[in-house]
Amino acid sequence: MNFKNTINQIGQFGLLLLLLLSFTACESEFDGGDDDPNTNPPRITSVSEIVEDVAVTQGVLEGTYVLRGENLSSMISVTFNGQAASFNPALLTDETAFVKVPQETPLFDQSNIMRVETLGGVVEVDFPILHIEDFTETTLDGAKVVVLQGAGFDNNPSVTFVSGSEALGNLVELQATVVSVSDTEIVAEVPSGITQAFIFVETSRGAIAQSASYGFVLAAYLDELNSDFAIEGWGGDEDYASTEVALGETSIKKTYQQWAGLKWRIGNPISTSAFSTMVIKVYGSTNASKLRISFNDLNNNDIGYVVEVKEGEWNSFSLPLRDEQFWGGAPQDEVSVIVIQEFSNMTASEYIYYVDDFGFL
């Protein structure tokens, strides 16, 4: 499976999806006699993902699918694990319906049932949802492995690390060795030579899910500070080798006073045309609430990203470098300074955060 082609095709079908995903769940009244298909019970014969129209028996969050069968034109509702899904009544026919799996669909300890109700009755189909929630990195018998956490992993998944692109001529797809698998966890070896990639899981039921980025095109902090970055803090203490980690062995611990911060200076500034995204993980400890991430000493409290940090867990943020929110207008060409500032506007005596797995894509 060429995963990059799949992503490109999704873009090519954007116009079609705009039409199909303008879904509104609604009820309609239909009249008909005993021979009217609207009064006959529905039947599902197949489910296909919309881009390549390939039959599947498993879906992914926010995936759009074509239901094929009989007596579907009077559809009243469709749910996945009890979560109401959207559909466009104008596109219903007796033989087809287009539905989208909601992002809010519950995944764990569920019945894995898609339930379709029409004026003629109800049909239920076994349709689990594949999802990669997160992953961690560790070593196992001397080999580097990732532990993928999620839902819908079956007994025979394939795991592929994909980096680069066909457009740039540097597409690399490396299949990983799967060490162990359960419904909620996959352990897979990281292929040799991988520094940055997206991890794809494909199941025998036809579903494909993609992880967040593994690694970075340019790392700022992974167990140690990139030598091209210098870091300084104000208004509190810093520990640059804390053992509270998201990945690897160490992180940066910052004990903040109110409005205190960390400032990263970059020797070779980050080009906002060569890189698209800054990715960072933050663990919220004591009084964790909000941080403001800003660029280039632009000291305007109305610009930069204010991120909500949940206390007691690692929070992952992917921030687009050219977003005007960072700049208060047109983006600058380079990022030479990054500031991570305590921004909760509370009066606590200290605020403790940890920073790890920080870099650029």
- pLDDT tens digits along 24-33: 444 333 334 4
pLDDT at residue 2, as a whole number: 57
Mean per-residue pLDDT over the chain, rounded: 88
Would you say the CATH fold of 219-360 matches that of 3-127?
Answer: no
User: How large is the average pLDDT for residues 300-305?
Assistant: 86
CA 156/CA 203 separation, integer angstroms: 6
Under the banding of pLDDT at 50, 70 and 90, the label for residue 195 is confident
pLDDT at residue 6, as a whole number: 52
The CATH-assigned architecture of domain 130-215 is Sandwich (2.60)
- State pLDDT tens for residues 162-174: 988 787 788 899 9
For the chain, the structural domain boundaries read 3-127, 130-215, 219-360
Q: What is the CATH number of domain 219-360?
A: 2.60.120.260
Percent of the chain with pLDDT over 90: 66
- State pLDDT tens for residues 225-272: 999 999 998 998 999 999 998 877 899 999 988 889 999 999 999 999
Above 80 in pLDDT, residue 201?
yes
pLDDT at residue 194, as a whole number: 87
pLDDT at residue 27, as a whole number: 37
Q: Which fold has domain 3-127?
A: Immunoglobulin-like (2.60.40)
- Cβ proximity of 276 and 359 under 8 Å: no
Above 80 in pLDDT, residue 337?
yes
pLDDT at residue 1, as a whole number: 59
